[in-house]
Amino acid sequence: MGEFPPQKTQKLQETSVSVRLELHLSVGALTMFLLKAWRQTAFGIYGYLNFTKSGFIEHSKQFKPEDTQTRIEGKNCIVTGANSGIGFATAEGLASRGANVYMVCRNKERGEAAQSKIQSNTGNQNVHLEVCDLSSVSDIKSFASQFSSKDVPVHILVNNAGLLEHNRITTSEGFESNFSVNVLGTYAMTELMLPLLEKAAPDARVITVSSGGMYTTPLTKDLQFSEENFNGVQQYSRNKRVQVALTEKWAEINKNKGIGFYSMHPGWAETPGVATSLPTFSKALSGKLRTKEEGADTIIWLALQPKEKLVPGSFYFDRAEAPKHLMFAATSGSHALIDPIFESLKSLSSVSA
């Protein structure tokens, strides 16, 4: 049998390589499609069974009432995004137990209305309003500087402020808006409060309010969603995954400073934020969503427990440690990326403790 001419042999080889490459890419794309579909499906089923009001009712059968009856007079608590929803319920819950509460809100008028309502409902006048835009690192730095001048220890910092913006919007500082509030704002606020948290050691703690949406995505270094077709829900989920990984990192690097770091998921609660950002979801689950108080329950629980009962860096849901990854979702290995992400946040914010 005769041999092919060299030119034809080379062309056949190139064609074979091209076919194998296309096949490899097709298999890779199909695998990623199936993986994403599985994550969404698993999250939907797991969420419907656990994150709704019925899930809370079922889980609350295991709650111990005495766990949230502790009084915390004299303790200083900062709650971001405290004028409505879960943040309001958290601030009110802490105030009702005697804490000095500092509500960090972007809007002065709404903040004042919430402050007055909490003071009236709880009889605690030690509820203070701090106006700060959590999407602005500059604003956070100004708040931190002014607050530090009070020279008071911070016993509890609740990073609750969050944003789900469906459109790609860039802040005045040049950052994607969801990232600026959920990730960079959380990072800057926490880092700048560390010296005051150390003053409250060994009883200080930081509680970051994440979301079950983080189950649908791995950690990624693409912090500001560089993809052309912007997806606000996906970006929000990515942000919430970063918060969980950041909590692990903070717990690790501050382990000898007497500060506890915990993240949590409030479940699917009926709040103004959910109604505005996810109207279809809110309507579809009307009557099945948790109240804001049920959403805040685990935050209050984390704030009140003896630290020896809690696991540093862990993720909590309904007063119990919860998994950070769903089965077969292939997200667990991604947390190895937190070190370069941490350095990126330090660089972008120009903040480090």
Q: Could you read off the pLDDT of 135-193 as tens digits, one per residue? A: 999 999 999 999 999 999 999 999 999 999 999 999 999 999 999 999 999 999 999 99
pLDDT level of residue 15 (50, 70, 90 thresholds): low
Checking if the pLDDT of 59 tops 50, the result is yes
CA distance 57 to 14: 63
> Which of the residues 187, 236, 262, 316 is marked catalytic?
236
46 is catalytic: no
What residues have CB less than 8 Å from 263, skipping those under 6 apart?
207, 208, 209, 210, 243, 244, 247, 314, 315, 316
Mean pLDDT for the chain overall? 92
pTM for the whole structure: 0.90
Of residues 29 and 223, more confidently modeled: 223
pLDDT level of residue 42 (50, 70, 90 thresholds): confident
What residues have CB less than 8 Å from 116, skipping those under 6 apart?
none
CA distances from 274 to 82, 184, 228, 233 (A): 15, 21, 26, 12
Residues 59, 319 contacting (CB under 8 angstroms): yes
pLDDT level of residue 58 (50, 70, 90 thresholds): very high
- Plot region of 171 (φ>0 → left; ψ -120 to 50 → alpha; else → beta): beta
